[in-house]
Structure 1
């Protein structure tokens, strides 16, 4: 697991400077076969407003529940941060777990009954006991540093969290354009930072999925103009020739490009259902989820879930996909954001 995560992080550094490439997919003779896809109907999509500032979510098979991270939003209308537990069939709120700090990233150790919550703006990790419905600890990963303007701030923000239950570790990617990205390793027994791995470059990778069985790394290439302009101001000599609005498939060992898969506008997060040969992509700007065959990369469906679909989770046994949906400029300020349930 540790080697896999380090390999993933190293290849992720290519995201900010992906080379232009041609599209290549496996031939039909070599592509694995899966059940024929049936386009989803409107009645197979449920949606429920849940909380302000929803971000990542996870599905727990052991507890048959969906857990959603809520930052509470921003400004005078913000609510306290919390974890929201949902009924996976109805999306009804079953419980709320209050948090001291704003919740963004989320990872689950189902066997241990713990949630690990990324407090992005505080560069810390919150540990939650699911059964007791309470915080166990808040682990500060970095301290604030005084900048040239005299203000103190954290140098990095958090992105993805990955739990390695067998080795009692959780890995947290902390990103920074100017100061360099790092990977934190936290021991889940001692709840202490065990290691900080440097040298992960200056790129941010919004969506990555490693398919260990085929040694493929799926990476979203957003092509965000505003993000590119920000990086260019922050990182000297930065130049991106990524095409944007696509998923790039890389060889996980070498970083060689195997395919360039067109998506909707603003692809953000990925979910691979290897058994059914399905690749789901949230297209944030397009307000839709695209469904691709994960071997041929054929576009099978485009499912509208406006305004801004964000993150994904799956109940693989029942073939249900859950997605958090962010509000847009046209939505009432301070209103709750949503979770959708897609029954395939």
Structure 2
């Protein structure tokens, strides 16, 4: 899902200045859209675009849509042709769509209805809604929010995070599509989610003293917690980090965590739980994805903060071997969610338009975008 706006309820012109890695050992100017145009295809077509998902077996890319934040607003999932990004289908939903996950074997598409604490199940081939699971409990006038959704490709179980103050991890039954198990106290602002199917582990990112929770994928039992060591008090106002999104290098035993608080990506060793590296990424750090085929890490930043709401964001391409930045691309205005194709050759990104009328790039009736990058042409 990765909606920066909604996830921060739990916490909180091309740029030309150089970017630097930790220690100041590296600096590089941002590539302008004109400089990377040969590698990119952009489609401006979707109101309220959030997470996307590549389904090469269908020749489609699905995009979650939440056009309005008004109570009771509906949503949609768009199916785009993965070759030219033309709209092939619009699937209307009674609830807003933010997060996406897919069981490619069964053809089921799982849509996270974040603000309603629910998941809608769609047959990806036909676009027919086949079920809906209400996971979040009643909370005031609404429900506990859901956030990320992920499917274990081997067991087909579905996992959903909830970014409450204590945090929750929901495990859905793949046969019934209903809630099978609720794991409470998964960690402050449980948001980021990654699954190691081979090792039977689920990683949940958030804040607090121990920012990463590690859970047994079958039982939901907590088996470990990772900590940066930076937060020493359990109070939510004292949390130094918020790991809003996670990405896993299963073979290399590395977990990448995008930190919305410190504007960095942290690298954890999954065996020891220790921090082994950090990359400075910039204001509005949001999503992170790993591409094992190219040993690259991708990061989106919104380019804005609470203090500065008028910036524009970027896409970073980071070398997985030494954590140096290979490319930094200006991607106006606010890059949001990432999806790496299964063969590692393509990268899909959603890009949000500014909602603040004072933003220099704001104009009426703008729509959000999907950008497809041919990664070989960025080399």
Q: TM-score, normalised by structure 1?
A: 0.76
> Quick check: 1:289–1:304 contact (8 Å CA) kept in 2?
yes
Residue in 2 aligned with 1:322?
A: 348
Q: Secondary structure at the match of 2:38?
A: helix
2:373 pairs with 1:336: no
> Quick check: 1:271–1:312 contact (8 Å CA) kept in 2?
yes
Residue in 2 aligned with 1:49?
A: 44
Deviation at 1:222, TM superposition (A): 2.1
> Quick check: 1:264–1:288 contact (8 Å CA) kept in 2?
no
Residues 168/318 of structure 1: CA separation in 2 closer, same or farther (3 Å cut): closer
2:303 pairs with 1:272: no
Deviation at 1:308, TM superposition (A): 0.5
Residue in 2 aligned with 1:281?
A: 299
> Quick check: 1:48–1:339 contact (8 Å CA) kept in 2?
yes
Residues 342/212 of structure 1: CA separation in 2 closer, same or farther (3 Å cut): same
Residues 90/79 of structure 1: CA separation in 2 closer, same or farther (3 Å cut): farther
User: How far apart are the structure 2 equivalents of 1:88 and 1:131?
Assistant: 15
Per chain length, whose mean CA-contact separation is higher, i.e. which structure has more relative contact order (CA < 8 Å, sep 6+)?
1
Residue in 2 aligned with 1:182?
A: 168
User: How far apart are the structure 2 equivalents of 1:117 and 1:101?
Assistant: 10
Out of 255, 262, 265, the position equivalent to 2:273 is 255
User: How far apart are the structure 2 equivalents of 1:210 and 1:316?
Assistant: 14
1:1-344 to 2 correspondences below 5 Å? 41-75=36-70, 80-146=74-140, 152-154=141-143, 156-177=144-165, 180-203=166-189, 204=206, 205-223=243-261, 244-285=262-303, 286-317=312-343, 319-328=345-354, 329=356, 330=359, 331-344=362-375
User: How far apart are the structure 2 equivalents of 1:218 and 1:119?
Assistant: 25
Q: Secondary structure at the match of 2:125?
A: coil
User: How far apart are the structure 2 equivalents of 1:68 and 1:317?
Assistant: 19
What do you get for the CA RMSD once the two structures are aligned? 2.3
Deviation at 1:343, TM superposition (A): 1.4
Return structure 1 stretches of 4+ with deviation > 6 angstroms.
Answer: none
> Quick check: 1:48–1:338 contact (8 Å CA) kept in 2?
yes
Deviation at 1:318, TM superposition (A): 6.7
> Quick check: 1:108–1:116 contact (8 Å CA) kept in 2?
yes
Q: Secondary structure at the match of 1:341?
A: strand
Q: How many residues were matched structurally? A: 281
Deviation at 1:312, TM superposition (A): 0.7
CA offsets 1:228-249 (integer angstroms, 9 cap, x no match): xxxxxxxxxxxxxxxx121110
Residue in 2 aligned with 1:19?
A: none
Deviation at 1:197, TM superposition (A): 0.8
User: How far apart are the structure 2 equivalents of 1:259 and 1:174?
Assistant: 27
User: How far apart are the structure 2 equivalents of 1:45 and 1:255?
Assistant: 37
Q: Structure 1, unaligned stretches of length 5 or more?
A: 1-15, 17-21, 25-38, 147-151, 224-243
User: How far apart are the structure 2 equivalents of 1:199 and 1:101?
Assistant: 27
Residues 47/79 of structure 1: CA separation in 2 closer, same or farther (3 Å cut): farther
